[in-house]
């Protein structure tokens, strides 16, 4: 039977998952505890994630402003064409083939398989439902934001003449590969950090997650499947959604800890 490992793993290193040193963090805890009077800790987790998903979907809509910058050829979008031209000049058949295989790992099929295997392994090894719960929530929100962002902005990909086959035809902004890889790698890193006692191991875990997300994103630009701004926005929104997922989980842990403490005090009395 799967358990909930959060009560026994309230820290990452010396940092408590229930600690909220900032004023905003303390406000969130107070809000979550008030909410917990009416609903369960699981509901607090779901509500926090849902509110965050709505806010980030709005942020994805605001990404249309970046699209306007692209069409005007100013701002950060001015990097798009020069960066793609540089990538085209660096291509060769062996590199193109390798990166084509690599970038597929960050696609819908590749990331689904990778995320599923890692989640199943964590659930089996730790006998915990926490990896499954967080991964489902993270992936669902990530896909929602990607789909909404693409449909609302509708930006065209780089010309097929500048891309390496196989070609892709879905809207370009934001990069789903960059966004989803950032979120999934981040969730895996977060789950592992709660189990690692070595500082070096934690640093390497975070570095590996960053390297994965950055490499997948850059491979999209190199192969001409996305503009640089598509990938940059994908990283940005991915990090924002990852922050929402982690915050929701930390509030969940806090509510459980407070409820357990109150229950123990009531029993002692």
> Which residues are part of the catalytic machinery?
177, 226
Q: Among the residues of 105-175, which ranges form H helices?
A: 108-126, 130-153
Q: Who's near 98: CB < 8 A, 6+ residues apart?
A: none
DSSP tally for the chain: helices H, then strands E: 10, 2
| Structure tokens that stand for 106 in this block | 């960050």
Q: Sign of torsion, CA 11 17 18 19?
A: positive
First to last CA, the chain: 32
Instruction: Output the CA–CA distances (angstroms, integers) from residue 208 to 24, 37, 120, 216, in the order listed.
Output: 30, 40, 20, 12
């Amino acid at each position: 039977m799967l358990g909930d490992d959060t009560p026994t793993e309230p820290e990452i290193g010396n940092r408590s998952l229930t600690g909220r040193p900032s004023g905003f963090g303390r406000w969130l805890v107070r809000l979550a505890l008030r909410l917990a009077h009416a609903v369960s800790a699981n509901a607090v987790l779901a509500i926090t994630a849902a509110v965050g998903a709505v806010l980030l979907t709005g942020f994805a809509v605001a990404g249309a402003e970046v699209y306007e910058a692209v069409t005007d050829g100013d701002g950060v979008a001015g990097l798009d064409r020069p960066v793609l031209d540089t990538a085209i000049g660096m291509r060769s058949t062996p590199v193109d083939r390798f990166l084509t295989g690599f970038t597929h790992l960050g696609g819908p099929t590749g990331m689904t398989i990778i995320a599923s295997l890692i989640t199943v392994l964590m659930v089996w090894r730790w006998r915990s439902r926490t990896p499954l719960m967080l991964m489902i929530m993270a992936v669902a929100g990530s896909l929602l934001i990607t789909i909404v962002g693409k449909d609302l902005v509708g930006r065209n990909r780089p010309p097929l003449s500048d891309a390496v086959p196989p070609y892709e035809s879905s809207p370009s902004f934001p990069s789903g590969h960059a966004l989803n890889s950032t979120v999934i790698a981040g969730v895996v890193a977060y789950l592992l950090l709660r189990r690692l006692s070595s500082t070096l191991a934690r640093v390497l875990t975070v570095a590996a997650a960053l390297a994965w997300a950055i490499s997948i994103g850059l491979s999209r630009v190199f192969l001409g499947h996305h503009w640089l701004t598509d990938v940059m926005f994908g990283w940005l929104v991915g990090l924002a959604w990852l922050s929402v997922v982690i915050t929701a989980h930390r509030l969940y842990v806090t509510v459980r800890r407070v409820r357990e403490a109150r229950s123990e005090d009531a029993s002692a009395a």
